[in-house]
């Protein structure tokens, strides 16, 4: 039998690893991979938790909204303050949402026709209503079938208030009045005085009657079909006074053709800083201003309401929007949906009592 040659020094053969050693190495490798995987899993879970926590600090947005054009209904004719501001908001929303936002005028019955249309629209966020404060009182002053008429506090999903507008007592140059004291002196002496408003049942009409009651005078109301004819007759001397928003009278202030005598709210307005407030005149129960709000039909998803509210809050901060609204005598004013809902319900209840007390009806 041949003998195997002895191995040379330094060339000893390596021993083959045993099955036990192989098993141990595999376990170590698997454990290392498991630990690495576990760390990755924990890191991913932590990242997701952080993202979730961050997302809760922002309002939930509707993921797929809008997927088609949106319509803002204005329940009055083209050319008025509400129409102009709706088109301004529509332009800005179009830029931010990536879908066309168009304005549709549905006028008639002091805004009731257009408001009813939106109240009955599909509550999906694609039909909205930009409404002035007349919205909260129109159903009190217009005779309609109550079963077919919207309730502003019940039939809508408030999105945000968009504006506030002071209501001003103004006098035409021909009247000779430059102060409320002069007006009251003549009215209490029995002089027949008149005040104009854009229509029976308007906020200006109601404010005029509240002022009469508080001051203990009787200045006769003369309703007009809109702002323009009321201002024209004020300039022509056919009526002595008017309750009006700032925008229509602003062009005539510098020339003295129209004078601002007072603000109908509890505080002075920056638009007419020299005009006293109702509280300063001693009428602390009078605090009325016009406003506008954006609404959707009741039942519109909360995520859609929050999406629109968030975009409108940013739009109402834009310097060009603020400047353009000031032209109409309006102050940009955003709110929560809840705040607009409360404002709408409070004014609906308040004006319902006032309309009943004074027997006010629209023409």
Tokens coding 193: 């005085």
Please state the φ and ψ torsions of residue 101, each to the nearest 5 degrees.
Answer: -120, 110
Tokens coding 151: 């309730």
**For residues 25 and 260, which has the higher predicted lDDT (pLDDT)?**
260
- The stretch 59-86 carries a mean pLDDT of 87
Q: What is the CATH number assigned to the segment(s) 70-165+289-358?
A: 3.40.190.150
pLDDT at residue number 41: 43
pLDDT interval class at 5 (50, 70, 90): very low
**Left if phi > 0, otherwise alpha if psi is -120 to 50, otherwise beta: which for 170?**
beta
Query: What are the CA-CA distances from residue 16 to residues 7, 27, 156 (Å)?
Result: 17, 19, 83
For residue 133, which of 108, 104, 103, 110 has the smallest C-alpha distance? Answer: 110
Please state the φ and ψ torsions of residue 111, each to the nearest 5 degrees.
Answer: 90, -5
Over residues 167-206, the pLDDT tens digits come to 999 999 999 999 999 999 999 999 999 999 998 888 999 9
User: Beta strand 331-332 with 258-263: parallel, antiparallel or unpaired?
Assistant: unpaired
Over residues 257-294, the pLDDT tens digits come to 999 999 999 999 999 999 999 999 999 999 999 999 99
- CATH topology match: 70-165+289-358 vs 168-263: yes
pLDDT interval class at 109 (50, 70, 90): confident
**For residues 17 and 261, which has the higher predicted lDDT (pLDDT)?**
261
For residue 174, which of 300, 259, 55 has the smallest C-alpha distance? Answer: 259
- Residue 138 near residue 165 (C-beta atoms within 8 A): no
Tokens coding 308: 């629109």
Distance of CA 37 to the CA centre of its chain: 51
Tokens coding 313: 């809050």
Q: Where do the domains of the chain lie? A: 70-165+289-358, 168-263
- The stretch 224-240 carries a mean pLDDT of 94
pLDDT at residue number 60: 53
Min mean pLDDT across 24-28, 134-138, 341-345 is at 24-28
Query: What is the overall mean pLDDT for the chain?
Result: 86
Min mean pLDDT across 50-59, 108-117, 212-221, 334-343 is at 50-59
pLDDT at residue number 146: 66
- The CATH fold assigned to 168-263 is D-Maltodextrin-Binding Protein; domain 2 (3.40.190)
pLDDT for residue 14 is more than 70? no
């Amino acid at each position: 039998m041949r003998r195997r040659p002895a191995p040379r020094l330094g060339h000893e053969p390596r021993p083959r690893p045993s099955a036990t050693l192989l098993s141990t190495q595999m376990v170590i490798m698997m454990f290392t991979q498991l630990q690495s995987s576990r760390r990755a899993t924990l890191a991913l879970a932590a990242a997701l938790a952080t993202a979730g926590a961050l997302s809760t600090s922002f309002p939930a947005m509707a993921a797929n909204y809008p997927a088609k054009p949106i319509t803002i209904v204005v329940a009055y004719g083209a050319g008025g303050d509400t129409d102009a501001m709706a088109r301004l908001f529509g332009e800005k929303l179009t830029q931010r949402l990536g879908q066309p936002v168009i304005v549709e005028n549905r006028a008639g019955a002091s805004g009731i026709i257009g408001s009813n249309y939106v109240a009955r629209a599909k509550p999906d966020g694609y039909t909205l209503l930009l409404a002035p404060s007349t919205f909260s009182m129109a159903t009190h002053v217009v005779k309609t079938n109550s079963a077919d008429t919207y309730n502003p506090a019940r039939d809508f999903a408030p999105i945000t208030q968009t504006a506030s507008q002071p209501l001003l007592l103004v006098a035409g140059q021909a009247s000779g009045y430059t102060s409320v004291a002069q007006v009251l002196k003549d009215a209490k002496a029995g002089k027949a005085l008149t005040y104009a408003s854009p229509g029976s049942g308007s906020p200006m009409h109601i404010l005029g009657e509240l002022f009469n009651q508080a001051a203990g005078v009787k200045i006769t109301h003369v309703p007009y079909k809109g702002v323009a004819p009321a201002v024209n007759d004020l300039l022509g001397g056919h009526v002595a006074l008017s309750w009006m928003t700032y925008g229509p009278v602003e062009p005539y202030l510098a020339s003295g053709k129209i004078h601002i005598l007072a603000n109908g709210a509890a505080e002075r307005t920056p638009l007419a800083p020299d005009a006293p407030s109702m509280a300063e005149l001693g009428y602390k129960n009078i605090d009325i201003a016009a406003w506008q709000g954006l609404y959707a039909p009741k039942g519109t998803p909360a995520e859609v309401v929050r999406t629109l509210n968030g975009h409108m809050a940013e739009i109402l901060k834009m310097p060009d929007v603020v400047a353009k609204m000031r032209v109409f005598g309006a102050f940009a004013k955003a709110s929560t949906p809840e705040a607009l809902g409360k404002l709408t319900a409070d004014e609906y209840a308040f004006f319902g009592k006032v309309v009943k007390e004074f027997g006010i009806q629209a023409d």
